[in-house]
Amino acid sequence: MLNVPPQAFPAPSSQQRVAVGGRAKVPLKPGRSLMDWIRLTKSGKDLTGLKGRLIEVTEDELAKHNKKEDCWICIRGFVYNVTPYMEYHPGGEDELMKAAGADGTDLFDQVHRWVNYESMLKECLVGRMAVKPIAAPKGMLPEKKVLGASAKDLTPSYDWFQTDSLITIVIYTKQKDMNAELVIVDCQDKRLRGEIIVDNDSYLVELDLDHAVQEDLAVNIAEKVGKVEIILKKKDNIHWKMLGEPLESHSTFIKRTDRGLFYRKCKLISKTEVTHDTKLFCLMLPKSTHLRVPTGHHVYLKQIIAGTEVVKPYTPVLPFLSLDFKEPSCHDGIHIYLMIKIYSCGLFTQALDHLHIGDYISVSNPEGSFKKSQVQTSEDLFLLAAGTGFTPMVKLLNFALTEVSCLRTVKLIFFNKTEDDILWRNQLEQLALVDERFEVQFILSQPTKDWVGKQGKISSSLLSEFVKRSRKESKVLICICGPTPFTEQGVQYLKVLGYSQEEIHTFTA
Ligand code: FAD
Ligand code: NAD
């Protein structure tokens, strides 16, 4: 929690008025109050200059940052870039400069012991001090060579410890804003695989564990400091001498795209009809898997068909479109919902349709290029979907309407052949009724005579009618998904209409 004074500011006893031990306070310039500092820290500005990365800092590196305009200070093993904070420091710049490029823990403890500096300076966190090499803790495995990572000091590292009943593996990702979608863990028999996604790179812990563990595992993430804990339950309460034998890719940090797809077997829980040819499949992840599919990303399903491995991509959806926006979206992390059209002569979908409840199917790690931040900076969001090209729009719609406050309009333009093909029509119409920012337009390419709505395929005239900025300068994002010719034509028309590549996102494999 930040120490935000509740009433008059600075409050009579606040850090900005009280001189500790009679120490004179330096008058702060206008616009440099604690509240101004808090606003700055919440503005999303990069205060470290490291674009959200956390690095390991050596003593030599720390010492280089000893000037007002480039000042790093170490407090209790964590290094902060305090340059942006200089003008906000009640004790003045000179006081801070006493610890410039050095360990300021003692100085800090003398003067500011009560200050919640971790919270005050959290956006200034540069990283941890590098630990001087000492004998490796008992049982810890040697670090493998780093393959292809951009900078060595950004390579995540790991450690482990145990209690009578638990094994905890701690991964220091050196990446701020870690979240559950960036951590994928599987434990099958004694084989542990923990993958951490860091931008376009992937760090892997992959071991044949020393002893057996129970099926369920837990993952804890300290988001701001980028620490990930994988907690395993020992099967037998015995002391482990080592964590395990490293497997081939253990402790490697390589490009994400160079990491092979990893599959785990998921159980088919239910299969429900959505339309005459499309079904909602619910798959259950094993208890020993931690996996969250990010919005707009897909997974690969793998089946052996006629003795051959066949793989096809599918984009997970939600079990339904939530109408109550006060509730958090309902992805529980245990189930994966897939909305799949069964083609009468489709190789993969026919085999899928023949699966029974309780059967198993292999599901890969998620892939995709869509980033939620693309929506977070937009005022108008347009979703152009054709047929099952609707699937990436489901989570996106839910995210946009529940979590993005700057959006003024969200419009789904949904292309289908016939009325019977429209997926979740009722839910979409209900959603448009309860949220005035949301509008849905159905366009049919093979309508019956009774259809009074719009008809046709994607065209320049249809797009110019439905895709419009709500204000002259408003920031738009247009997402497109459907058959490849649909997507390609859509992009062409939009460019002719004056939209830039940055304003368009296409969903492809
Ligand atoms: P195939 O045996 O390959 O083809 C048989 C016949 O089915 C074809 O002759 C054609 O008539 C029809 N057909 C097959 N594929 C297509 C196609 N892509 N477009 C139009 N007609 C086709 N599908 C979903 O239902 N839900 C999803 O969530 C989903 N997500 C996807 C995500 C990505 C990134 C991509 C690239 C595709 C996605 N697909 C999705 C399509 C899916 O991957 C398969 O292409 C589809 O299920 C057909 O597989 P099949 O083996 O049954 O058909
Ligand atoms: P469909 O055959 O039922 O067609 C739906 C609508 O798409 C049609 O009414 C028409 O308006 C438009 N369309 C179809 N073919 C077109 C063409 N050649 N040119 C212009 N417009 C055309 O669609 P479907 O069978 O549901 O197929 C959905 C497609 O979406 C598949 O190709 C699938 O691979 C793709 N998809 C991709 C992703 C992804 O993330 N990349 C996700 C889901 C689905």
**Closest ligand to the CA of 421:** 2
Does residue 456 surpass a pLDDT of 70?
A: yes
Q: What is the pLDDT averaged over residues 449-460? A: 97
Q: What is the mean predicted confidence (pLDDT) over 364-371?
A: 93
What token pair was written down for 1?
A: 């929690």
349 Cβ below 6 A of ligand 2: no
Nearest Cα to 137, choosing from 155, 153, 161, 156? 161
Q: What pLDDT band is residue 33 in, cutting at 50, 70 and 90? A: confident
Ligand 1 mutation pick, 355, 388, 445, 481, max ligand atoms within 8 A of CB: 388
Q: How confident is the model at residue 53 (pLDDT cuts 50, 70, 90)?
A: confident
**Span 385-399, average pLDDT:** 97
From 292, 296, 332, select the one nearest 314 (Cα to Cα): 296
Closest ligand 1 atom to Cα of 341: 25
pLDDT, mean of residues 279-307: 94
Query: Residue length, the chain?
Result: 509
Query: Relative to the CA of 489, which ligand 2 atom is closest?
Result: 20
Q: Identify which ligand lies nearest to the alpha carbon of 455.
A: 2
Structure tokens belonging to residue 312:
């096809």
Residue range 227-253: average pLDDT? 95
Is the distance from CB of 185 to CB of 194 less than 8 angstroms? yes
pLDDT in tens, 70-114: 999 999 889 999 999 999 887 888 988 999 999 988 887 777 655
pLDDT at residue 106, as a whole number? 84
Residues 188-230 have pLDDT tens digits of: 989 999 999 998 899 999 999 999 999 999 999 998 888 999 9
- Above 80 in pLDDT, residue 470? yes
Burial environment of residue 152 by CB neighbours within 10 A (0 to 12, 13 to 18, 19 or more): exposed
Atom index in ligand 1 nearest the CA of residue 278 equals: 25
Average pLDDT, the chain: 87
Q: How confident is the model at residue 25 (pLDDT cuts 50, 70, 90)?
A: low
Q: What is the mean pLDDT of residues 319-345?
A: 76
Residue 446 CA: which ligand is closest?
2
Return the HEC string of 73-94.
EEECCEEEECHHHHHHCCCCHH
User: 5-9, 196-200, 462-466 — which one is most confidently predicted on average?
Assistant: 462-466
Strand partners, 410: 381, 438
Cβ–Cβ under 8 Å, residues 19 and 25: yes
d(CA 106, CA 98): 11
Residue 295 phi, psi dihedral angles, 5° rounding = -55, 130
The amino acid that residue 422 corresponds to is I
Identity at 227, one-letter amino acid code:
K
Task: Give the C-alpha separation, 68 to 89, whole Å.
Answer: 13
Ligand 1 atom 5, closest CA:
346
For 126-176, how does the pLDDT look when each residue is reduced to its tens digit (9 = 90+)? 998 887 644 444 344 444 434 444 445 689 999 999 999 999 999 999 888
**Best of 388, 391, 422 for a ligand 2 pocket test (most atoms within 8 Å of beta carbon):** 388
Let me know if 239 is exposed, middle or buried by CB neighbors in 10 A (0-12, 13-18, 19+). Answer: exposed
Distance 507 CA to ligand 1 centre (A): 14
5 vs 304: CA distance, rounded Å: 63
- C-alpha 338 to ligand 1 mean position (Å): 13
Mean pLDDT over residues 467-492, rounded?
96
Summarised one tens digit per residue, pLDDT across range 326-338 is: 444 444 669 999 9
490 C-alpha to ligand 2 centroid (Å): 12
Cα-Cα-Cα-Cα dihedral of 421, 425, 427, 429, to 10°?
Answer: 170
Position 115 scores a pLDDT of 62
Q: What are the phi and psi torsion angles at 228 (to 5°)?
A: -120, 130
Q: Positive or negative, the Cα torsion across 67, 175, 248, 158?
A: positive
Predicted pLDDT at 392: 98
What value does the mean pLDDT take over residues 336-342?
98
The answer to whether 359 touches 302, Cβ cutoff 8 Å, is no
Give me ligand 2 centre to Cα 487, in Å: 8
> Which residue pairs, CB below 8 angstroms and at least 24 apart, start in 266-272?
266/336, 266/360, 266/361, 266/362, 266/363, 267/358, 267/359, 267/360, 268/355, 268/356, 268/357, 268/358, 268/359, 268/360, 268/361, 269/335, 269/357, 270/357, 271/355, 271/357
Residue 326, number of CB atoms within 10 A of its CB? 6
Q: Give backbone dihedrals phi and psi of 172, rounded to 5 degrees, phi first.
A: -95, 105
Looking at the CA of residue 507, tell me the nearest atom of ligand 1: 34
Q: Does residue 389 line the site of ligand 2, with CB under 6 A? A: yes
Give residue 7's pLDDT. 32
Distance in angstroms (rounded) separating the CA atoms of residues 101 and 475: 42
427, 393 in Cβ contact below 8 A? no
293-301 average pLDDT score: 95
Most confident of 12-26, 304-318, 365-379, 432-446: 432-446
Ligand nearest the Cα of residue 353 is: 1
Q: Tokens in use for 148?
A: 């292809």
Q: How many angstroms separate the alpha carbon of residue 458 from the centre of ligand 2? A: 11
User: Among 134, 227, 238, 241, which Cα is nearest to 183's?
Assistant: 227
User: Which ligand lies nearest to the CA atom of residue 486 in the structure?
Assistant: 2
The answer to whether the peptide bond before residue 10 is cis (omega within 30 degrees of 0) is yes
Predicted local confidence at residue 310, as pLDDT:
87
Banded model confidence at residue 45, pLDDT cuts 50, 70, 90: confident
Does the beta carbon of 387 sit less than 6 angstroms from any atom of ligand 2? yes
Residues 6+ apart with CB under 8 A from 166: 231, 232, 233, 234
Look at ligand 1, atom 32, and give the residue with the nearest C-alpha: 314
Measured from the Cα of 352, ligand 1's closest atom is 52
* E strands, 118-248, in order: 125-129, 157-162, 166-172, 183-188, 191-198, 201-209, 213-222, 227-234, 244-246
> What average pLDDT score do residues 359-383 get?
94
The minimum-distance atom of ligand 2 relative to the CA of 482 is 30
Strand order in the sheet with 263-273: 308-314, 299-305, 360-364, 263-273, 278-284, 335-341, 316-317
Q: Is the pLDDT of residue 459 over 70?
A: yes
CA 31 to ligand 2 centroid distance, Å? 54
Reported confidence tier of residue 323, pLDDT bands at 50, 70, 90: low
Amino acid at 167: I
pLDDT value at residue 292:
95
